[in-house]
């Protein structure tokens, strides 16, 4: 028996597709036209269901009074002029509100985001897979949903958070292995942003998150700190457990600070700052000096000779600002004798059962900018390296309330004396730097990906054996610079102590070393101080210098 062929309409795929498209278009058009009616009908049904649930939940002994109350309200509405019309309009509005679409937002990534996650998964396969793994978590063509437990994208579709699992045999305890993974994630997630990597070795998980920019509009100001605390800058809120109220722009905000603690009980009494030119090293020294003047005395050695610290010269509490070689040598020699004197006085007071003298408890800050420049000048003239005179304050400064802060450029950091590198346990790196450069200076790699373009004063800080923190130095420009912002200049001038010595008699700004009789008063008098002689510093009272330690 011959089989009859099917009608052409059932076999022509083009006709079927066109018919489906026409039907789908007609259905969409009808849905748009009748959408208000559909919404109101759905709302009426929901209101009726809600009323039925309320009626069922009402006890039987209260249904009668409830029914009569509703009937009385309906009768009152019917009697009021235009009552039924207003009631109908109110009912339609309530039904439209109750019947609106409540579909939850689509969860899960879109097609473009899935492709991005799949590409990131494939890029990690060579590093998270091993031959002989019976059930590999990472394999070519595998499912990324098993490895990526959490993810998030910003409005532009770029990845901003990712939590992934990795095999237990991955060597997450080695810095090189971590660096490879971080480089891959940085490259595949998008360059130009700074990422934070949180490794959880116990759970075999890695969390990647995008870090926001640190605030650059925090100017120099009087920070609310305890004695012995210095604000180096500000960092991420999750990195520290404390905030400080600061004036940010025109509003007061709570900012997380990087606090450096100095004094006799400090384990990191001295600081080393390294950076490229123009990255904010001198700005950080100026900020530290302004904070130190609140409760201590400051000595400044300006190796650059550019007058960056001229605003401090002759101020109350500033013992001297030197930039010439002869003045710097004399000043540092006095600082070494002063450290000796403090140690001897404190030791004798303790042996006698008395408290340390007041002049030994007042903090003394020695701030040295670019010491290798002075070392080069000293070598050219056949003199001793000024850095050798820092050995006494560096070694015994913690017990004598003497703090040394040294700033140097990265390219000349190898010329720093061994004592400077050995005793500066608090360190700061400013400016663009690779992870290897940060590790070589701070002793540990950063948990973020350094960017090539950073604002001045941006870098990393590590205090002793603590974690590596992102750092943004508060804006503390030279108030005598013509290009300084007026608001920042006024902020710095407000923190300067009153001037007690004329500027010409308190500082010498010359790159060449002056003659011994032309040095600043501090240098001339400190150079002749021997044994038990007295040294007058910047017009202050003479400090008696004891003999050497026995």
Q: CB-based contacts of 157: which residues, under 8 Å, 6+ apart? A: 112, 113, 116
8 A C-beta contact, residue 475 and residue 486: no
**pLDDT above 80: residue 291:** yes
**pLDDT above 50: residue 280:** yes
Q: What is the DSSP string of 146-207?
A: GTEEEEEE-TTS-EEEEEEE--TTS-TTSHHHHHHHHHHHHHHH-SSSEEEEEEETTTTEEE
Residue 403, SS3? strand
Q: Which of 479, 482, 520 is nearest to 501 (CA)?
A: 520
Binding residue per annotation — 216? no
Domain ranges (residues) in the chain:
111-211, 229-503
Pairwise CA distance, residues 474 & 215, whole Å: 9
Domain 111-211 has CATH 3.30.980: yes
Res. 108 pLDDT band, cuts 50 70 90: low
Q: What average pLDDT does the segment 13-35 reach?
A: 67
Pairwise CA distance, residues 524 & 324, whole Å: 12
Q: What average pLDDT does the segment 360-365 reach?
A: 94
Binding residue per annotation — 276? yes
Q: What is the dihedral of CA 491, 496, 497, 502, to 10 degrees?
A: -130
Binding residue per annotation — 53? no
Q: What average pLDDT does the segment 295-309 reach?
A: 92
Q: What is the dihedral of CA 34, 40, 41, 47, to 10 degrees?
A: 170
Res. 541 pLDDT band, cuts 50 70 90: very low
Q: Among 187-191, 402-406, 496-500, where is mean pLDDT lowest?
A: 187-191
Residue 14 has a pLDDT of 54
Q: What is the dihedral of CA 319, 338, 514, 275, to 10 degrees?
A: -70
Pairwise CA distance, residues 403 & 171, whole Å: 41
Residue 265 has a pLDDT of 86
Percent of the chain with pLDDT over 90: 52
**pLDDT above 90: residue 469:** yes
**pLDDT above 90: residue 35:** no
**Partner residues linked to 218 by β-bridges:** 248
Pairwise CA distance, residues 482 & 470, whole Å: 30
Res. 61 pLDDT band, cuts 50 70 90: confident
Helices 35-57 and 83-98 cross at an angle (nearest 10°) of: 100
Res. 133 pLDDT band, cuts 50 70 90: confident
User: Phi and psi (nearest 5°) for 319?
Assistant: -75, -20
Residue 28 has a pLDDT of 66
**pLDDT above 50: residue 398:** yes
User: Phi and psi (nearest 5°) for 385?
Assistant: -65, 125
Residue 343, SS3? helix
For 432-454, the pLDDT digits (tens) are: 888 888 999 999 888 888 777 88
Cβ-count burial of 139 within 10 angstroms (0-12 exposed, 13-18 middle, 19+ buried)? Answer: middle
Residue 547 has a pLDDT of 38
Residue 513 has a pLDDT of 36
C-alpha distance across the termini of the chain, in Å: 126
Strand-strand pairing, 257-261 and 271-275: unpaired
Residue 516 has a pLDDT of 36
Binding residue per annotation — 280? yes
8 A C-beta contact, residue 18 and residue 9: no
Q: Among 37-46, 231-240, 492-501, where is mean pLDDT lowest?
A: 37-46
**pLDDT above 60: residue 530:** no
Q: Which two tokens stand for residue 547?
A: 């003999």
Average pLDDT for the chain? 83
Residue where the block lists tokens 């403090």: 342
**pLDDT above 50: residue 510:** no
For 327-357, the pLDDT digits (tens) are: 999 999 999 999 999 999 999 999 999 988 9
Res. 321 pLDDT band, cuts 50 70 90: very high
Pairwise CA distance, residues 442 & 429, whole Å: 8
8 A C-beta contact, residue 471 and residue 458: yes
Q: Among 56-70, 223-237, 252-266, 386-400, where is mean pLDDT lowest?
A: 56-70
**pLDDT above 90: residue 200:** yes
Strand-strand pairing, 543-544 and 229-234: unpaired
Binding residue per annotation — 320? no
8 A C-beta contact, residue 220 and residue 291: no
Q: CB-based contacts of 387: which residues, under 8 Å, 6+ apart? A: 371, 375, 416, 417, 419, 420
Binding residue per annotation — 45? no
Residue 56 has a pLDDT of 80
Pairwise CA distance, residues 319 & 530, whole Å: 19
Pairwise CA distance, residues 310 & 508, whole Å: 9
Binding residue per annotation — 277? yes
Pairwise CA distance, residues 486 & 492, whole Å: 10
Residue 521 has a pLDDT of 38
Binding residue per annotation — 157? no
Domain 229-503 has CATH 3.40.50.300: yes
């Amino acid at each position: 028996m011959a089989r009859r062929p099917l009608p052409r309409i059932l076999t022509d795929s083009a006709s079927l597709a066109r018919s489906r498209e026409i039907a789908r278009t007609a259905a969409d058009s009808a849905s748009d036209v009748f959408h208000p009616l559909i919404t109101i009908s759905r709302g009426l049904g929901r209101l009726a269901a809600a009323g039925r649930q309320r009626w069922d939940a009402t006890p039987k002994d209260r249904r009668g009074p409830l029914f009569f109350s509703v009937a009385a309200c309906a009768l009152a509405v019917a009697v009021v002029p235009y009552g039924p019309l207003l009631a109908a309009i109110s009912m339609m509005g309530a039904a439209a509100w109750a019947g609106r679409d409540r579909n939850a937002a689509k969860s899960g990534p879109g097609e473009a985001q899935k492709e991005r996650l799949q590409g990131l998964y494939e890029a990690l396969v060579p590093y998270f897979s091993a031959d002989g793994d019976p059930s590999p978590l990472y394999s070519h063509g595998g499912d990324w949903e098993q490895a990526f437990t959490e993810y998030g994208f910003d409005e532009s579709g770029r990845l901003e958070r990712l939590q992934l699992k990795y095999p237990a045999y991955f060597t997450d305890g080695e810095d090189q292995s971590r660096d490879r993974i971080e480089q891959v994630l940085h490259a595949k997630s998008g360059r130009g942003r700074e990422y934070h990597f949180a490794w959880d070795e116990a759970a075999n998980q890695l969390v990647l998150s995008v870090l926001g920019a640190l605030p650059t509009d925090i100017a120099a100001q009087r920070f609310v700190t305890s004695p012995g605390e210095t604000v180096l800058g500000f960092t991420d809120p999750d990195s520290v457990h404390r905030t400080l109220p600061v004036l940010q722009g025109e509003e007061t905000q709570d900012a997380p600070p990087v606090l450096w603690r100095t004094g006799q009980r400090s384990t990191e009494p001295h600081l080393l700052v390294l950076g490229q030119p123009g990255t904010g090293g001198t700005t950080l020294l100026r900020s530290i000096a302004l904070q130190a003047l609140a409760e201590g005395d400051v000595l400044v050695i300006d190796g650059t000779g550019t007058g960056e610290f001229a605003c401090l010269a002759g101020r109350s509490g500033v013992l001297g600002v030197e930039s010439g070689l002869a003045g710097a040598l004399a000043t540092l020699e006095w600082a070494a004798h002063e450290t000796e004197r403090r140690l001897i006085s404190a030791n004798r007071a303790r042996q006698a059962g008395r408290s340390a003298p007041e002049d030994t408890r007042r903090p003394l800050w020695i701030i040295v900018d670019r010491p290798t420049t002075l070392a080069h000048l000293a070598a050219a003239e056949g003199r001793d390296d000024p850095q050798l005179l820092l050995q006494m304050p560096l070694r015994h400064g913690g017990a004598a309330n003497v703090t040394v802060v040294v700033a140097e450029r990265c390219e000349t950091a190898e010329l720093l004396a061994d004592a400077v590198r050995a005793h500066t346990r608090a360190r700061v790196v400013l400016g663009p730097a690779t992870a290897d450069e940060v590790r070589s200076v701070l002793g540990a790699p950063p948990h973020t990906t350094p960017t090539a373009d950073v604002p001045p004063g941006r870098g990393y800080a590590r205090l002793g054996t603590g974690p590596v923190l992102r750092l943004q130095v508060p804006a503390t420009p030279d108030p005598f610079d013509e290009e300084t912002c007026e608001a920042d200049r006024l902020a710095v001038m407000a923190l300067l102590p009153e001037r007690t010595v004329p500027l010409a008699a308190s500082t010498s700004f010359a790159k060449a070393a002056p003659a011994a009789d032309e040095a600043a008063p501090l240098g001339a008098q400190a150079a002749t101080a021997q044994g038990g002689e007295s040294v007058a510093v910047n017009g202050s009272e003479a400090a008696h210098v004891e003999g050497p330690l026995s």
